[in-house]
């Protein structure tokens, strides 16, 4: 599909003070493009979750927004540590957030399932020591 | 993009504006540009918050409100003070002193907006009992917050409670009661709100969620303050007067509404940038365990309004002390249910989104513009210095794409370009000599 627009946001590990900035910008841009309603609501939830995921669980990475004529795509890719047991991580309530994150009220373990629930297509690939890539698509109803 | 001009209470006084760019970055919706040596307010983005009025050292941003002489246009004039007015007078013990003073400066009748707040409290509490309400329901009382949602959070419009603002409900009751008592026609009566902010004035002229406001105008609290001072010495003595409850009066300060409406599970947020942060969270579905959200654009609530006189912390304290000595009865029992049936409390129009932030109606064209915007941003220095007249480099790039300015309006780009041109000239001169 022809790509119409792409922008990426670097997200630093454990940078709690900036957490939410990338997803706020993503929302703002989609609104500027005229994307609204249910899709915007779902992208809002998923982009915030995935951004927090990068902050809390990863060693740093980036979040990339791509807009196609019929869909919005979010790709989060990090440089580690990778998820050892994906099936477990996809279960509701499971979390590996560290103490620092928990003490800030992050990492309630809703992340991945919530992303999956809110996207139309969800794909996760992870390799311990290499990193995790999450791809989500949201269809734009014409 | 420029539709018909929208009414705004907040305006620019051209003669006082120095074109200094101070106000640029303080506008929460990035609605200000400095062009041709003076500020301009973008009509479709301004939410009348009054932040620019507070920040401008030259008093070039002003709020238009009614002058006292305008009440003469009506045979009878009723004044409806916002409860924040009571907080303007130090150690004010009871609202009745202020109400009496209002009558003495020329109004035929007074009606407390706090009583409107009592009625609205009941109406919202009934609403909360209906099934399937969005969570959280968001207060409609601060028009700045409602307009902010229209511009920046259109997905949250469904969360705004569809109950009218206290001043509207108060005006309906006040007019009806006055006409009944004095056997006059509603059109003989003018209802004037005493306002702490330009946003309420704008909400009267161009109501949100209502075809027409029940009010006929608004007089600035700041303007009225001086006129009232010499008359603050006696209490209102009217056997028919029905006072508001302490709950209604407490709406003047942040948390007053939340505490009256939903004390168990509500959040109150004050200050426009804090409100924005919390609305982001609502949009991210992070606050859906809350039942009610009260947002006030001004720090401290309406006692911190741009048209108030007293230091907002002092005013808040005055209100707090006043409320302690007032009837502790909750509006649930103080307001008879007949009130809710007799007077309109619900909106009669849906709240529409404001699409001013959209780059283009056509999504493909909008994307082309956004792409172009990003390319321009790469070339800009990212200082957000404001000397181009746009609040940030990103807003400048957007202005270029929208056709309002060109890249050479950026002094930094211009300097670079001049440098390149100068070097080219030197080269040219040298090559000629050779
Ligand atoms: S009133 Fe508020 S929104 Fe309007 S221009 Fe001033 S700062 Fe911006
Ligand atoms: S908080 Fe009160 S005074 Fe401030 S803008 Fe909103 S309604 Fe007006």
What is the 3-state secondary structure of B268-337? EEECHHHHHHHHHHHHCCCCCCCCEEEEECCCCCHHHCCCCCCCHHHHHHHHHHHHHCCCCCCHHHHCCH
B203 CB-near residues (< 8 Å, 6+ apart): B143, B165, B213
Q: What's the pTM value of the predicted model, to 2 decimals?
A: 0.92
Give me the residue from A4, A27, A40 closest to B364, CB to CB.
A4
Coil, strand, or helix at residue B412? helix
Residues B277 and B289: beta-carbon distance below 8 Å: no
- Supply the mean pLDDT for chain A: 85
Lowest mean pLDDT across B74-78, B371-375, B426-430:
B426-430
DSSP annotation of B71? G
H helices of B209-290, in order, are 221-228, 246-249, 256-261, 272-283
What is the token pair recorded at B28? Answer: 């929460």
Residue B46 Cβ inside 6 Å of ligand 1? The answer reads: yes
CB contact under 8 A, B284 and A29: no
Q: How far is CA B218 from CA A7, A82, A90, B35, B136, in A?
A: 47, 61, 57, 31, 31
pLDDT at A4: 78
- Asked whether the predicted pLDDT for residue B5 surpasses 80, the reply is no
* Residue closest to A51 by CA, chosen among A15, A95, A6: A15
A17/B contact by beta carbon, under 8 A:
no
Lowest mean pLDDT across A94-103, B99-108, B166-175:
A94-103
Question: Percentage of chain B with pLDDT > 90?
Answer: 91
Total domains, chain A: 1
* Residue closest to B179 by CA, chosen among B75, B314, B271, B89: B75
Q: How far is CA A112 from CA A74, A91, A134, B184, in A?
A: 14, 8, 9, 66
pLDDT at B395: 94
CB atoms within 10 A of CB B236: 17
Q: Domain of A75?
A: 5-139
> If pLDDT is split at 50, 70 and 90, which confidence band does B1 have?
very low
Buried b or exposed e, range B260-295, using 16+ CB within 10 angstroms: bbbeeebbbbbbbeebbebbbbbbbbbbeebbbbbb
- Asked whether the predicted pLDDT for residue A5 surpasses 90, the reply is no
> If pLDDT is split at 50, 70 and 90, which confidence band does A94 have?
low
Mean pLDDT value of segment B123-133? 95
pLDDT tens, position by position, B193-245 = 999 999 999 999 999 999 999 999 999 999 999 999 999 999 999 999 999 99
Question: Percentage of chain B with pLDDT > 70?
Answer: 99
pLDDT at A107: 47
* Residue closest to B272 by CA, chosen among B137, B144, B83, B136: B144
CA A53/CA B365 separation, integer angstroms: 33
Residues B119 and B332: beta-carbon distance below 8 Å: no
Residues A139 and A73: beta-carbon distance below 8 Å: no
CA B341/CA B168 separation, integer angstroms: 15
A87 CB-near residues (< 8 Å, 6+ apart): none
Residue B197 Cβ inside 6 Å of ligand 1? The answer reads: no
Mean pLDDT value of segment B58-85? 96
- CATH code of residue A118: 3.30.565.10
**Chain A, 44-103: which have a CB under 8 Å from a chain B CB?**
44-45, 48, 67, 69
What is the token pair recorded at A79? Answer: 């440089």
A113/B contact by beta carbon, under 8 A:
no
Q: Which residues of A touch B355 (CB under 8 A)?
A: 34
Going by CATH, does the domain composed of B363-434 fall within 1.10.10.10? Answer: no
> Using CA atoms in the order B221, B223, B224, B228, what is the torsion angle rounded to 10 degrees?
120
pLDDT at B80: 98
| Residue ranges of domains in chain B | 1-64, 68-342, 363-434
Nearest CA to ligand 1 atom 7: B27
| C-alpha B61 to ligand 1 mean position (Å) | 9
Q: Which residues of A touch B152 (CB under 8 A)?
A: 28, 31
Interface test with B, best of A1, A25, A31, A72 (most B CBs within 10 A): A31
- Which option is the CATH number for B1-64: 3.40.50.800, 3.30.43.10, 3.30.565.10, 3.30.70.20? 3.30.70.20
pLDDT at A19: 86
CA B7/CA B294 separation, integer angstroms: 26
pLDDT at B282: 96
pLDDT at A56: 87
CB contact under 8 A, A29 and B286: no
| Cα–chain center distance at A79 | 15
B402 CB-near residues (< 8 Å, 6+ apart): B1, B359, B369
| C-alpha B59 to ligand 1 mean position (Å) | 14
Residues B279 and B156: beta-carbon distance below 8 Å: yes
CA A68/CA A30 separation, integer angstroms: 12
CA B58/CA B363 separation, integer angstroms: 42
> If pLDDT is split at 50, 70 and 90, which confidence band does A97 have?
low
Interface test with A, best of B151, B277, B284, B365 (most A CBs within 10 A): B284
Nearest CA to ligand 2 atom 6: B142
Residues B389 and B21: beta-carbon distance below 8 Å: yes
| Cα–chain center distance at B408 | 36
B81 burial level (CB within 10 Å; 0-12, 13-18, 19+): buried
Taking the alpha carbons at both ends of chain B, their separation in whole angstroms is 56
Residues B139 and B257: beta-carbon distance below 8 Å: yes
Nearest CA to ligand 2 atom 2: B302
CB atoms within 10 A of CB A88: 10
What is the token pair recorded at B146? Answer: 């409602």
Mean pLDDT value of segment B293-301? 98
| C-alpha A64 to ligand 2 mean position (Å) | 38
- Supply the mean pLDDT for chain B: 94
- Asked whether the predicted pLDDT for residue B291 surpasses 60, the reply is yes
| Cα–chain center distance at A9 | 11
For residues A26 and A56, which has the higher predicted lDDT (pLDDT)? A26
* Residue closest to A38 by CA, chosen among B158, B54, B361, B190: B158
Q: How far is B139 from chain A (nearest CA, A)?
A: 20
């Amino acid at each position: 599909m022809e790509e119409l627009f792409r922008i990426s946001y670097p997200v630093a590990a454990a940078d709690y003070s900036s957490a939410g900035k990338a997803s706020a910008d993503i929302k703002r841009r989609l609104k500027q493009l005229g994307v609204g309603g249910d899709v915007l609501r779902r992208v809002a939830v998923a982009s915030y979750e995935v951004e927090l995921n990068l902050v809390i669980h990863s060693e740093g990475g980036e979040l990339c927004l791509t807009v196609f004529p019929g869909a919005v795509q979010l790709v989060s890719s990090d440089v580690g540590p990778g998820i050892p047991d994906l099936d477990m991580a996809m279960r509701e309530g499971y979390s590996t957030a560290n103490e620092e994150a928990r003490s800030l009220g992050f990492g309630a373990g809703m992340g991945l399932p919530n992303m999956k629930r809110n996207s139309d297509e969800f794909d996760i690939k992870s390799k311990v020591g290499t990193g995790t890539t999450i791809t989500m698509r949201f269809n734009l109803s014409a | 993009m420029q539709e018909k001009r929208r009414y705004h209470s907040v305006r620019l006084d051209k003669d006082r504006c120095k074109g200094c760019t101070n106000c640029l970055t303080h506008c929460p919706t990035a609605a200000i540009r400095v062009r041709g040596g003076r500020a301009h307010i973008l009509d479709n983005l301004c939410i009348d918050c009054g932040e620019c009025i507070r920040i401008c050292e030259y008093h070039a941003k002003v709020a238009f409100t009614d002058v006292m002489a305008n009440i003469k246009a009506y045979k009878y004039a009723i004044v409806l003070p916002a409860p924040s007015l009571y907080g303007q007078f130090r150690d004010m013990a009871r609202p009745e002193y202020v109400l009496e003073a209002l009558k003495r400066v020329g109004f035929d009748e007074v009606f407390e907006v706090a009583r409107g707040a009592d009625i609205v409290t009941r109406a919202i509490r009934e609403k909360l009992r209906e099934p399937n309400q969005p969570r959280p329901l968001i207060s409609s009382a601060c028009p700045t917050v409602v307009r902010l949602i229209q511009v920046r959070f259109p997905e949250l419009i469904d969360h705004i409670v569809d109950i009218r603002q206290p001043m509207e409900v108060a005006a309906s009751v006040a007019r009806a009661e006055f006409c009944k008592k004095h056997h006059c026609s509603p059109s003989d009566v003018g209802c004037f709100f005493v306002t702490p902010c330009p946003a309420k004035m704008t909400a009267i002229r161009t109501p949100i969620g209502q075809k027409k406001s029940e009010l006929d105008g608004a007089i600035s609290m700041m303007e009225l303050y001086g006129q009232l001072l010499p008359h603050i010495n006696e209490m209102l003595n009217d056997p028919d007067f029905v006072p508001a409850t302490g709950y209604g009066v407490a709406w003047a300060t942040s948390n007053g509404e939340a505490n009256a409406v939903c004390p168990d599970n509500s959040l109150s947020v004050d200050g426009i940038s804090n409100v924005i942060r919390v609305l982001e969270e609502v949009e991210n579905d992070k606050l859906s365990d809350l039942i009610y959200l009260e947002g006030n654009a001004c720090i401290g609530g309406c006692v911190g309004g741009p048209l108030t006189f007293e230091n907002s912390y002092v005013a808040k304290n005055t209100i707090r002390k006043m409320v302690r000595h007032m009837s502790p009865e909750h509006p649930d029992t103080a307001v008879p249910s007949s009130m809710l049936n007799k007077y309109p409390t619900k909106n009669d129009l849906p709240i529409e989104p404001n699409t001013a932030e959209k780059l283009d109606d056509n999504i493909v064209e909008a994307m082309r513009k956004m792409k172009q915007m990003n390319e321009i941003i790469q070339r800009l220095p990212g200082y957000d210095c404001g000397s181009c007249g746009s609040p940030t480099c990103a807003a400048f790039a957007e202005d270029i794409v929208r056709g309002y300015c060109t890249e050479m309006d950026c002094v930094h780009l211009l300097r670079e370009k001049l440098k390149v041109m100068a070097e080219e000239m030197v080269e040219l001169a040298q090559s000629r000599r050779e």
